[in-house]
Structure formats: C-alpha cells, structure tokens
Amino acid sequence: MTPIFDLNLLLTGTYHDWLVAGLITSLSLTGISLALALPLAIVIALIRLSPVKLLQWSGFAFVEAIRNVPLLAHLLFWYFGAPELLPTALREWLYARNVEATSAIIALTLYTAAYMSEDVRSGIRSIPGQQFEAARALGFSFVASMRLVVLPQALRVTIPPLISQTLNLWKDTSIATVIGVAELMYQAAKVESATFRSFEAFAFASVCYLGMSLLITGAAGWYQGRFPVRTA
Amino acid sequence: MIELIDTYWLYFLVGQYPHGPLGGLALTLILAVLGLLFAFPLGLVFGIARVSPWRSVRWPVTALIQVVRGTPLLMVVFWAYFFLPSLTGQNTDQFWTMLTALVVFDAAYLAEIIRAGIQGIGKGQTESARSLGFSYLDAMRLVILPQVVRNMLPSLVNQFVATIKETSLGYIIGLTEVSFIATQINTQVLTRPAEVYLLLGLTYFILCFGLSRLAFWLERHLQQRTMAKAHA
C-alpha cells in the first residue's frame, strides 16, 4: 500500500537526484542568462539614448522585435532554425556539445535583455538632464558622463525593477523544457512518467519555483528598505 | 519563402478546419480572447478583495495571488493538465485545460492591475461616497470602479498582448495553436526550419506590436484628456 503523498520519493533515491539535478540546471540557466543579459541590457539602453537617430531606431527595433514574440517561439527558432543557418563545420561542433542549453541561454538572454534594457532606460531618464549636461560641460565625453555620473545614480532606481525581471527570468526558464533542456520542469515530468506520482513530482517543482520566487521578491523588498531612492 | 506561404497559409491560419478541429492562428486568438474575457471578472473580484477592509477576505486572496504570481505559467498548465480530470470527474481536452490555466494565471495579474488602480484613485473618493450614504460595495461599484476601468484600458490591451504570448504554451500539451502548427509544418517541409520559425515570429510580432502601439496611443490619449479636464 503506497501512501497518498510519498515524501520519501522526494527526499532520497534516484528520483530525488533527478529533481535536484533539474533544480540545479534551472538555477544555472537563470544565473548564466542573467550575467549575460545585464551588460547587454545596459548597452541596448545606451544605444536607445544615444544622440544618433539610426542607433536609436535600431535599439527600438531590437527591443520591440524581441518583446512582441513569445519566448517559446524564440526558443523554437534558436533550437530548430538558427543552427541550420550556420556553416556545416560550426554546426557539427555545436551538435557535439550541449546544443539545447546553448539555444536556451541565447533565447533567455536576448528576451531578458530586451525587457531589462527598458528598465535601465527609464532609470537613466529619471536622472535630471542637467546632471548629464553639467558632466558634458565639465569636459566628460558621452560615455564617461554616462559611466561616472548618470549610471551610478540610475542604477539605484533601476535595481528593484531589475530584480523583478530576474524573477520573470527564473519563471521563464521553465519554458526551456520545450527544447529538451533537463531543467526542473523537464525532470518533474520525467519523474511523473517514470513513477506516475504526478502529485509528488509537481509539488516538488512548485515548491522550488515558489520558494525561489519568494526569495527574489524578498531581495527586492530588502533592497528598497536598505537603499531607498534619494530624491534631489 | 513565398512558396512556403503559398502552400501552408491556410493550415497556418486555421489548422485542419473545416476537415478537422480548428487550430492555427485562429485558435491562438480565440484562446487569448476567451482567456482575457473570463479572467477579467475574476480579476475584478480578486482585485477588490485584495483591498477589502475585511481581513478574512483580504488575506486568503492575497496569498492565492502571491502563489500564482510566484509560479511559472507552465507549472499552472501542468497542474491543470493532470488534476482537472480528477477534479471534474471527466476528461478535459487541451483547449479547456489551457483556457483554465490562462484564466487563473491572468486573473492574478489583472487583480494586481485593478488593485493598483483602486489605490491610485485616492481614499478621498471612497470617503466622500461613504459619507454620502453609499455602502462600501456601492461606493466601489458606482464611484471607484468606473474610474479604475477607464484608466486601466491601456493595461488591459497590454495584458491581451501578454495573453496572446502565453497561449503559445499550449504547444507543450499538444494544443494545435499557431506555434504547434508551425512545428507541424516544419516536420513536413523538414529542410527550412529557420524560415518556418521566422514566419511564426513575424506573425506574433505583427499582432502584438500592433496591439502594444494601440495601448501606447490609448495611454497618451487618456493622459491628454485628463490634462484637458484639469485645465478646464
């Protein structure tokens, strides 16, 4: 007679290892994509705020093209479509490695960067223009005034929305299951089909997603308490 | 690419209809419209409950919303997929599974938009309505909500864009919406995955970008109207 909720299944043994491996993959996907998306987002935000019209437009086009297409379609394109466009040698090199995870990281990074760049941009715009003008008048270049005067102030305003984008990134990693990345959702479904204990498998995944989400939300709250936005 | 569109455009738009079930882009749109339509009243109830003066109403709804918002949509879809049948006692097809998941998920997000809208109206309005003898619910229904709903029109359009993007997850449970059909086309053609998925992305883009421009326009239009009123 098996219990209604078999906790042991989750705490020890093969299935436990599968699920934990999935959790680690999900966390790595989040970490790597975040590390790549942040600098990319700052560059895109700066491009959109640059004085050159052509750059502004290409930044706008990039952000809108990515945000208006579901992540699932991005993943399908990067996994099934994009490798076909590569030269054969490079494609074979890629297929010999972890092509699923690579495609997922590319898609997640671009998707997250597009959203984050909008937060960074509005953060920068919240800093009064006089600050930038004063920096320029003192002889700083465009890049130097951004880097030394505007960005340090803008970042403080931007971090709370960036944390909530990180939360979205964490939840979005679940969609990578579509292209067969062995992340948490994939592993939960695998345990489900191996044991028919769907309740346990999905409860584990849900608790992990929810727990991590609460941690991230908590981090945002802590940051806002610790570093409140100073108004000049 | 022209050839591809020429052969498959009808399949892409409506799936196997009229010789089989309706699918493709038409199904995506129907799912998104119904999802938002059913989610709105539920979101309204949740949103009002979220700011209710009674703790026994406020707390459980707040907890429910936090749980849904901390969970990936895919997780909600999986729960619906595996547990709706045992809950309702009959087999639920993919369409109703996906619709249920979308309604629950979107209602939680709409509730937060509505809550922010109610809190943005200001306490003075509720207080004056109450002092004029309206009950709490009448003050909500006749004074606060009409203003909230008008102000949230742009957010509603944006939520519709989000819902269209969310329907793509139906792919995972085998619902024949447009991403699934694109994959079917890809397996039939086999040699041109990049083009197939670019067309899929383009389809979503045209739809979602058009709608998000509409939201942008609505927002500006409403702002101008409010400003014109303030000057009058």
Do residues A25 and A205 make contact, with C-beta atoms less than 8 angstroms apart?
no
Mean pLDDT of chain A: 92
Q: Which burial class, exposed, middle or buried, applies to B30 when counting CB atoms under 10 A from its CB (0-12, 13-18, 19+)? A: middle
Write the CATH number for A180.
1.10.3720.10
Q: How far apart are CA B90 and CA B96, in angstroms?
A: 12
Q: Examine residue B136 and state whether it is found in any structural domain, yes or no.
A: yes
With H, G, I as helix, E, B as strand and everything else as coil, classify residue B100. helix
Q: Examine residue B83 and state whether it is found in any structural domain, yes or no.
A: yes
Q: What is the ipTM of this complex?
A: 0.92
Listed in sequence order, the residues at least 6 apart from A47 whose beta carbon sits closer than 8 Å to its beta carbon are A55, A56, A58, A59
Range of the domain at B76: 35-168+196-231
Q: Examine residue B17 and state whether it is found in any structural domain, yes or no.
A: no
Residues of B in contact with A189 (CB under 8 A): 78
Range of the domain at A111: 7-226
Q: Examine residue B7 and state whether it is found in any structural domain, yes or no.
A: no
pLDDT single digits (tens) A105-142: 999 999 999 999 999 999 999 999 999 999 999 999 98
Pick among A4, A30, A69 to test the B interface (most B CBs inside 10 A):
A69
Pick among A174, A177, A208, A213 to test the B interface (most B CBs inside 10 A):
A174
Nearest-CA distance A230 → chain B (Å):
22
Average pLDDT of B93-119?
Answer: 95
Q: Examine residue A38 and state whether it is found in any structural domain, yes or no.
A: yes
Q: How far apart are CA B50 and CA A148, in angstroms?
A: 43
Q: Examine residue A114 and state whether it is found in any structural domain, yes or no.
A: yes
Residue B63 has which token pair? 């907890």
Residue B20 has which token pair? 């089989």
Q: Examine residue B105 and state whether it is found in any structural domain, yes or no.
A: yes
* Peptide bond just before B18 cis, omega within 30 deg: yes
Q: Examine residue B2 and state whether it is found in any structural domain, yes or no.
A: no
At B15, give phi and psi (nearest 5°): 70, -140
β-pair partners for B177: B24
pLDDT for A187 beyond 50: yes
pLDDT for the residue numbered B48: 93
Average pLDDT of A78-95?
Answer: 89
Q: Examine residue B200 and state whether it is found in any structural domain, yes or no.
A: yes
With H, G, I as helix, E, B as strand and everything else as coil, classify residue B71. coil
Residues of A in contact with B194 (CB under 8 A): 77, 81-82, 84-85
CB nearest B197 (choices: A65, A68, A73): A73
Q: Examine residue A1 and state whether it is found in any structural domain, yes or no.
A: no
Q: How many domains does chain B have?
A: 1
Q: Examine residue B50 and state whether it is found in any structural domain, yes or no.
A: yes
A218 Cβ under 8 Å from any chain B Cβ: no
Residues of A in contact with B186 (CB under 8 A): 80
Length in residues, chain B: 232
Q: How many domains does chain A have?
A: 1
Q: Which burial class, exposed, middle or buried, applies to A130 when counting CB atoms under 10 A from its CB (0-12, 13-18, 19+)? A: exposed
Write the CATH number for B55.
1.10.3720.10
At A64, give phi and psi (nearest 5°): -70, -40
Residues of B in contact with A210 (CB under 8 A): 67, 70-71
Nearest-CA distance A134 → chain B (Å):
31
Q: Examine residue A120 and state whether it is found in any structural domain, yes or no.
A: yes
Q: Examine residue A199 and state whether it is found in any structural domain, yes or no.
A: yes
Residue of B nearest to A78 (CA): B194
The closest alpha carbon to B170, from B182, B156, B158, belongs to B182
Q: Examine residue A2 and state whether it is found in any structural domain, yes or no.
A: no
pLDDT for B7 beyond 70: yes
Q: Examine residue A65 and state whether it is found in any structural domain, yes or no.
A: yes
